[in-house]
Homo-oligomer: A and B are copies of this chain.
Amino acid sequence: MSSEEVERVAQGTRELQLARGDVLFQRGDHCTGFHVVIHGNVKLALISPQGLEKVLEIIGPGQSFGEAVMFMGKPYPVYAQALTDSLVLHINKNVIVGGIESDPAFCQKMLAGLSIRLHRMIQNVESLSLRSSEQRVIDYLLHDLEEIKYGQDVHISLSANKNVIASNLNITPETFSRILHNLSDAGLIHVEGKDVCIKDVSKLRTYDK
| Contacts from A to B (Cβ < 8 Å) | 46, 48, 50, 52, 54, 56, 67-69, 71-72, 74, 77-78, 97, 100-102, 104, 107-108, 110-112, 114-119, 121-126, 128-131, 170
Contact = CB atoms under 8 A, between A and B. Distances in A.
A121 B69 CA distance: 13
Nearest to A123: B77
A126 B46 contact: yes
Contact of A115 (B46, B68, B104, B116): B68
Contacts of A69: 115, 119
Contact of A107 (B54, B104, B123): B104
B170 A129 contact: yes
B72 A129 contact: no
A56 B128 contact: no
A117 B69 CA distance: 11
Contacts of A72: 112, 115-116, 119
Given A107-B111, A111-B114, 16 more contacts: A48-B130, A48-B131, A54-B125, A69-B115, A72-B112, A74-B119, A77-B122, A97-B108, A100-B104, A107-B107, A118-B118, A121-B121, A124-B125, A128-B129, A128-B170, A129-B170
Interface residues of chain A: helix, strand, loop or mixed (majority) = helix
Contacts of A130: 46, 48, 50, 52, 54
14 contacts: A52-B130, A54-B130, A68-B114, A71-B114, A100-B111, A104-B107, A110-B111, A114-B115, A117-B118, A118-B118, A121-B121, A121-B124, A121-B125, A125-B128
A125 B125 contact: yes
Contacts of A50: 130
B121 A122 contact: yes
A195 B35 CA distance: 45
B108 A100 contact: yes
A73 to B, nearest CB: 9
